[in-house]
Amino acid sequence: EVQLLESGGGLVQPGGSLRLSCAASGFTFSSYAMSWVRQAPGKGLEWVSGISAGRTFYPDSVKGRFTISRDNSNNTLYLQMNSLRAEDTAVYYCAMGYSSSSSWGQGTLATVSS
Amino acid sequence: QSALTQPASVTGSPGQSITISCTGTSSDVGGYNYVAWYQQHPGKAPKLMIYDVSDRPSGVSNRFSGSKSGNTASLTISGLQAEDEADYYCSSYTSSRIVVFGTGTKVAVL
């Protein structure tokens, strides 16, 4: 059974940083592209990064501030978030896949507030 | 990198069929057969219902079907059931090599 478990969320001040982690199990992690998707409170889904064949991609809303990476030896996906803004407040989901995501974690809440 | 356009809400009665549209551009929906649909119940993670425009993952009811014409993709739910009441989001791969989601549609079952 595929399992994705996010951690690392919390309260951070504007301009601060957070590093999210996603522990994967139940599948050959290194063989799959992975994504991070966020959802602001009461809002829709927003794709914020993906990693595929060693290449990384970001929308303009987070480019230059967020960095996705992976450790295939430890089956873990990361999202380093810098220069955080209030509008980055959201539940962040780790998802298996890129153009479509067949499994999702339960999400971790990141709150940016002073 | 604008969000794909979906109707804010769609309502149907049990047993009816409803269709949710997802409109993009030739740089996303119209340019690739990489449209997906997700169902999300309150407080839960999204669930993949359709991928690659019209394929269903194992375990998803055949009451859910997807299609595409030009820059607009569609999700049809037939034989509407109370458990189908949820938010639905489309997504598409884009020419920028990123993924964009739709604005979301709330489905209500009368």
Chain A positions contacting chain B at CB under 8 Å are: 35, 37, 44-47, 50, 57-61, 93, 98-102, 104-107
pLDDT, tens digit, for every residue of B75-95?
Answer: 999 999 999 999 999 999 999
Is pLDDT at A48 greater than 90 in this prediction? yes
From the number of C-beta atoms within 10 Å of its C-beta (0-12, 13-18, 19+), residue A88 rates as buried
Average pLDDT over residues A57-82: 97
For the cut 90, the answer to whether the pLDDT of residue A56 exceeds it is yes
The mean predicted confidence, pLDDT, of chain A is 97
pLDDT at B1 over 90: no
Residue A53, pLDDT above cutoff 90: no
End-to-end CA distance of chain B: 35
With 90 as the cut, is the pLDDT of residue B21 above it? Answer: yes
Residue B17 DSSP label: -
Number of Cβ within a 10 Å radius of residue B10? 18
Find tokens 């957070």 and name the residue: A18
Question: To which residue do tokens 């971790």 refer?
Answer: A108
Average pLDDT over residues B2-29: 97
Residue numbers in A near B51 (CB within 8 A):
99-100, 102
Q: B100-110 pLDDT, tens per residue? A: 999 999 999 99
Structure tokens at A11: 């309260």
| pLDDT tens digits, B31-79 | 999 999 999 999 999 999 999 999 999 999 999 999 999 999 999 999 9
pLDDT of residue A31: 96
Mutate to test the interface with B, among A39, A98, A100 (most CBs of B within 10 A): A100
Q: In the prediction, which pLDDT does A24 show? A: 98
The pair of three-digit structure tokens given for residue A101, joined into one six-digit string:
């995501």
Which chain A residue is nearest to residue B36, measuring alpha carbons?
A100
CB contact under 8 A, A60 and B57: no
Min Cα distance B99 → chain A (Å) is 6
Please tell me the distance in Å from B23's CA to the nearest CA on chain A. 16
